Amino acid sequence: MYVTMINRLRTGAAIAATAALFVGGHTAHAAETLKIGVPTDLSGTYADLGNQVIRAVEFAVDEANAGGNSVEYKSLDTEANPENARRQSEKLIRDGYPIILGLIASGEGLAIAPMMERWGGLYVSTINKADGLTGEACEARVFRVNTQSAMDALTIKPWLDERKEKKWAVVAVDIAWGQGSSAAFATTAESAGKEMVGQFFIPPNTNDFAPYIQQVKDSGAEGIWVVLAGRDAINFAQQAKQFGLMDSVTVAGQSFTTDNTVKALGDVAKGIYGIINYSSTLDTPENKAFVEAWRKKYDSDPTNFEGETYVGMQVLLEAVQRAGSNDPEAVAKAMSGGEFDTIMGKLKIRAEDHQLLSPNYFGVVEEQDGVLRPVITMTATPDQVAPPVTCKM
Amino acid sequence: MLIQVLNGIAYGGLLYLLAVGLVLIFGLREIVNFAHGALFMLGSYIGFSIAAVFNFWLGLAGSLVAMTVIGIFLDAAVLRPLRKHDHMVTVLVTFGILLVLEAFATAVWGKSFRSMSAPDLLSGTVQIAGEPFPVYRLFVIGVSLCVAAGLTAWLRFSRVGLYVRASSVDPTTTAILGVDTDRLSLIVVGLGTGLAGLSGVVAAPLMALSPTMGNYILIESFIVVVVGGLGSFSGALAAALLIGQIHNFGAIYLPWASTMLPFLLMVGVLIWRPTGFAGKRT
């Protein structure tokens, strides 16, 4: 409805650029600024996620500039709508921000993926889950550093194998993400010997979940897989709790009980299982240093989406360094098949489909050191969750 | 089945609480108040903040009072000075107020979602027709029926109510006959805004609080107002209850069309009776 625009220019970078003009090209590399376009949801269902994306991008940009690089970003609002995502991404690229990062909904990523070559851009997915983005809809100029639904499904397989609930249902948002995740879950559940008793798709931005909750209860499901995020996740969890659904069935989800959603929901979220793609509690020296620096800047722990977005920025900045150029084509070349140092370890981007092979986690919401948060109970290595390659580039 | 009907009534009731404020303001000032969703949001946050310190009931009462005061101020400071201008000007100004209130809420409460739980007295379920039904939804139904009954009684049986009805039909003649329409307007806009605050707190345990939360529900409230007949109170109640049922049964039997159904209803009603259910005004 109305587009919020944040355009932050580091004063330091501006001064450096002006200084470079005066010394007449002695510091040629400093003059060329890396420009990143961040189309994301700033006012829709996933506005809270968009806010996290911006914080992580800002953190990484400031860090890079403090290290002597020249990086800037510009953000535009998409309201998580694929049509807006296409328009805003094209605008950003036209305005000279050819590297795109930060779209939330899978449908948005899928909408811009086929355009990247024509627009002369490069897209790095940090949140899009739909398998197709690096599967049948894969593109030379599209990379994914976050886990796709197939990887999340492989992660829950050992857990599902052990669960005694036989009948499962899916409650998913009716967009590309929800449909893809629902299909991936159904395949995994059936391979684990479970019976699917219903797949309920709910339009994004639903206020009243009562008719859907009632149908889940009537389906006789003993366990549910929830594919809702942001505002939808909170509305569903609160209303399902009031109906007694949360206490009568086993609940697990993808991007459902994320750090911020758990914070907003409080005790309602307790005991819900879920995929954890990143946690600030990861015990690696790189992650500890990152969390330390993050706390200094924002006075809070980085959330899952902030961590994932930061991984994307790390990969991107390292690829730019290796390419020795900001040109999207050169950066894409450096990314494809490359190995990158991230807060989640040294990770590889597969050349075949441009999917980053990362570890993945599973856990449950419980209290840890007096704070209610998603706590990791199972870790999967990159090899264990590497999805099959279906891309033909 | 009975449970599903009750679900529809609860959601319809919530829509009614929000829509009736729009109807009140439209009836007297003849403007569509775009800021109504933002006032709903503000009421929700005020209730949330009070409830965080004291309890839900004080949050409910506090929000109603605070929003009524804000409504009176809104009428005196914004709507009254603008009444000589084209209605479009006022409508645009209310849109501006919406943007200001959203920015204000972002500054005070932040962009992160918040949630508010129902008071202990209203959490849990009761058995209805052998199925558990949330007590809180019964409360929502109760509040909306009380508001509907209270408003009807006030409009039918009090002198001020008579003036409000008269002024809604013909403000000029009513003023000529010696009714202070400015004072009337203060009461009506105050009440309408207060009800937006009340509905904000009632809705809070059902949905996430965020600076843009009003946008998601305002569209459906507009549909209620249009289908019911602009400025009609009983029409709004009938329309809200109907849309509640359509929302509910649409989600079950026609899930692919569920988001479209309220709009189809609106188009259908406007073709059949361009003035809505109540339909006496043109």
pLDDT at A24 over 70: no
Q: Tell whether B275 is within 8 A of chain A (Cβ).
A: no
Instruction: Provide the pLDDT for residue A241.
Output: 92
User: Mean of the pLDDT values across residues A131-145?
Assistant: 92
Percentages (nearest 5) of helix, strand, coil residues in chain A: 45, 20, 30
Residue B282 lies in a domain: no
Mean per-residue pLDDT of chain A: 88
For chain A, the first-to-last Cα distance in angstroms comes to: 37
Within 8 A of A230 by CB-CB distance, chain B residues are 113
Most distant CA pair in chain A, distance: 74
Residue B278 lies in a domain: no
Q: Poorest-confidence range of A12-16, A46-50, B11-15, B270-274?
A: A12-16
Residue from A124, A81, A118, A77 nearest A100 by CA: A124
With an 8 Å Cβ cutoff, are B208 and A235 in contact? yes
Chain A residue with minimum CA distance to B205: A238
CB pairs under 8 A between A and B: 102
With an 8 Å Cβ cutoff, are A214 and B3 in contact? yes
Instruction: Provide the pLDDT for residue B124.
Output: 85
With an 8 Å Cβ cutoff, are B111 and A47 in contact? yes
- Candidate from B14, B112, B131 with C-beta closest to A48: B112
pLDDT at A44 over 60: yes
* Beta bridge partners of residue B109, listed in sequence order: none
pLDDT 10s digits, B97-118: 999 999 999 999 988 889 998 8
Residues 81-140 of B with CB under 8 A from A: 99, 111-115, 117-118, 123-125, 131-134, 136-137
Percentages (nearest 5) of helix, strand, coil residues in chain B: 75, 5, 20
In this prediction, residue B279 has a pLDDT band, given cuts at 50, 70 and 90, of: low
- Candidate from A43, A44, A243 with C-beta closest to B134: A243
Fold of A5-147+283-357: Rossmann fold (3.40.50)
Instruction: Provide the pLDDT for residue A30.
Output: 45
Q: Poorest-confidence range of A181-195, A332-346, B222-236?
A: B222-236
For residues B273 and B279, the answer to whether their CB atoms sit within 8 Å is yes
Within 8 A of A198 by CB-CB distance, chain B residues are none
The highest-level CATH class for domain A150-276+361-385 is alpha beta
- Candidate from A203, A234, A238 with C-beta closest to B258: A203
Mean per-residue pLDDT of chain B: 89
pLDDT 10s digits, B26-69: 878 778 888 999 999 999 999 999 999 999 999 999 999 999 99
With an 8 Å Cβ cutoff, are A207 and B210 in contact? no
Contacts with B220 (C-beta within 8 Å, 6 or more apart), sequence order: A207, B15, B243, B247, B262
With an 8 Å Cβ cutoff, are A243 and B220 in contact? no
pLDDT at A27 over 60: no
* A349 to chain B, closest Cα gap in Å: 32
Rounded CA separation B113/B279 (Å): 40
* A25 to chain B, closest Cα gap in Å: 43
pLDDT 10s digits, B145-198: 999 999 999 988 999 888 888 887 787 888 888 888 788 889 999 999 999 999
Between A21 and B212, residue with greater pLDDT = B212
Contacts with A264 (C-beta within 8 Å, 6 or more apart), sequence order: A234, B112, B113, B114, B115, B208
pLDDT 10s digits, A161-218: 889 999 999 999 998 889 989 998 999 999 989 999 999 999 988 999 999 999 999 9
pLDDT at A14 over 50: no
pLDDT at B281 over 70: no
pLDDT 10s digits, A231-290: 999 999 999 999 989 989 999 999 899 988 998 998 899 999 999 999 999 988 999 999
Torsion sign, CA atoms A280, A282, A286, A288: positive
Within 8 A of B16 by CB-CB distance, chain A residues are none
Chain B residue with minimum CA distance to A248: B132
Q: How many domains does chain B have?
A: 1
Residue B279 lies in a domain: no
Instruction: Provide the pLDDT for residue B282.
Output: 40
DSSP A258-305: -HHHHHHHGGGGTT-EEEES--TT---HHHHHHHHHHHHHHSS---HH
Q: Which residue spans of chain A are classified as CATH 3.40.50.2300?
A: 5-147+283-357, 150-276+361-385
User: Mean of the pLDDT values across residues A57-74?
Assistant: 93
Within 8 A of B133 by CB-CB distance, chain A residues are 243
Rounded CA separation B74/B72 (Å): 5
* B203 to chain A, closest Cα gap in Å: 10
* Pick among A4, A54, A242 to test the B interface (most B CBs inside 10 A): A242
Rounded CA separation A116/A98 (Å): 9
In this prediction, residue B280 has a pLDDT band, given cuts at 50, 70 and 90, of: low
For residues B210 and A231, the answer to whether their CB atoms sit within 8 Å is yes
Q: Poorest-confidence range of A13-27, B120-134, B260-274?
A: A13-27
Give the pTM: 0.86
- Domain that residue B215 falls in: 2-272
B25: domain CATH number is 1.10.3470
- Candidate from A211, A242, A261 with C-beta closest to B251: A211
Instruction: Provide the pLDDT for residue A25.
Output: 39
